[in-house]
Amino acid sequence: MILVTGGAGFIGANFVLDWLAQVDEPVVNLDKLTYAGNRENLASLAGDARHIFVQGDIGDAALTEHLLAEHRPRAVINFAAESHVDRSIHGPGEFIHTNVVGTFRLLEAVRGYWSTLPDAEKQAFRFLHVSTDEVYGSLAPTDPAFAETNRYEPNSPYSASKAASDHLVRAWHHTYGLPVLTTNCSNNYGPYHFPEKLIPLMIVNALAGKPLPVYGDGMQIRDWLYVKDHCSAIRRVLEAGRLGETYNVGGWNEKPNIEIVRTVCALLDELRPRADGQPYASQISYVTDRPGHDRRYAIDARKLEAELGWRPAETFETGIRKTVRWYLDNPDWVAHVQSGAYRAWVSQQYADRAA
């Protein structure tokens, strides 16, 4: 049995689905079901006895302690986090509550449980914390990619809260001996991605005939990682990672945002052409950049490859095609996540920005 937190969100849900497709080991899935947590992501597991879903907050120590005592997992994989930079700028409090206080309370609950295990189970137990490359700050155009030894220089409330959570995990290992692993990933994309992030937002807006808002000059560079590759990396780190170590997970795909948008437009031109015959790229609209927008992220994932033999299976070209096709094939999922609250957020974030 493993316990997954945040397992109804984008990356967490993909991990749970992939885990149960690969092995029969059951999963207890704890998710608060905020706006980005979606039970529909897990619809294919309805009636599957290997999946136990519990709605709750990692900050609820009593609940977490109860789940650990009842189900006795051999590992905890922590995906639970507030993760959108724009939302953290507008409301940092929730990010501190979940990413910092929530991680602290989860660590304390896990430490209490782990300390009671028999020696063999104690030695085998793992706490894997899933984090982000944004904790490292921003790179200049000619800087080498982020390695695990880079110092932390977070620039947004989101990345600062994740950096704090990483430090807590490290401290609980060095102070208490808790057997932890940390992964820092680059920008994920793929199925079930909530359409506030770049790629799904472009797909959804394009199909709806709406503007495709691009921040600033669109030349912000990110490393793009297909979510199922990320899931396979986490499984590998959980299986064989060295205790207390951090592993960077990247897709070896550095691309500027505007190139991502134009690639999505070209795929939609091919797979779902506009009725008027015009290219989707005609909908691109440059808007005022967001405050403190990091210019470049890049991940050096050589440690993960050298130590554990992991490399991504997808190129960006294969992964983005699968992603666009998934959104075209799942219009009901897209429609259901676009609630009134989501529409209000998009209006707040983009509609009032000067072109």
Give the active site residues.
133-134, 158
The CA–CA distances, whole Å, from 150 to 141, 143, 293, 337 equal 16, 12, 19, 37
Nearest to 220 by CA among 263, 260, 161: 260
Which residues are CB-neighbours of 109 under 8 A, at least 6 positions away?
Answer: 61, 64, 65, 68
Residue with tokens 């940092």: 92
Q: How far apart are CA 89 and CA 290, in angstroms?
A: 9
Q: How far apart are CA 164 and CA 9, in angstroms?
A: 21
Q: How far apart are CA 200 and CA 192, in angstroms?
A: 9
User: What are the φ/ψ torsions at residue 201 (nearest 5 degrees)?
Assistant: -65, -40
* 224 neighbors 197 (Cβ within 8 angstroms): no
